[in-house]
Amino acid sequence: MMRFTVVGGGAAGVLAAIHLRRHDPSAQITLIDASGRPGTGAAYGTSDPAHLLNVPAPRMSAWPDDPDHFCRWLNEHAVSTFEGFAPRLAYGR
């Protein structure tokens, strides 16, 4: 069995862990995150909906094989965008 440790629980760390899991479902993955709020990090940990992503939502999918994933998620959770830019807190969720 493969074992991985990901240090940093921001968006990049969580997405790395998820991609590792998708690649090898039997892998043992440890995520080390001091904040207690994995996935948000400094970039997406805001609670202010006026803080927007700096990349349009259609280009923010975490899955290369499913480029519309984030936009579908926004629609399913009734999160509106401002001229195509989603709130940072939505991406953290």
Per residue in 3-53, pLDDT tens?
999 999 888 999 999 999 999 999 999 999 988 888 888 888 888 999 999
Q: What is the dihedral of CA 56, 60, 65, 66, to 10 degrees?
A: -70
What number of other Cβ atoms are within 10 A of residue 77's Cβ?
9
Whether residues 40 and 51 share a domain: the answer is no
User: Domain of 69?
Assistant: 46-93
Stretch (H or E) spanning 20: helix 11-23
| Angstrom distance (rounded) from CA 20 to CA 4 | 8
Find tokens 């001091």 and name the residue: 34
Question: CB of 10 within 8 A of CB of 43?
Answer: yes
pLDDT attached to residue 52: 95
Whether residues 52 and 38 share a domain: the answer is no
pLDDT attached to residue 14: 92
Whether residues 90 and 51 share a domain: the answer is yes
Distances from the Cα of 42 to the Cαs of 4, 30, 38, in angstroms?
Answer: 23, 20, 11
pLDDT attached to residue 65: 92
Whether residues 13 and 33 share a domain: the answer is yes
Dump pLDDT digits (tens) for 44-79. 888 899 999 999 999 999 998 999 999 999 999 999
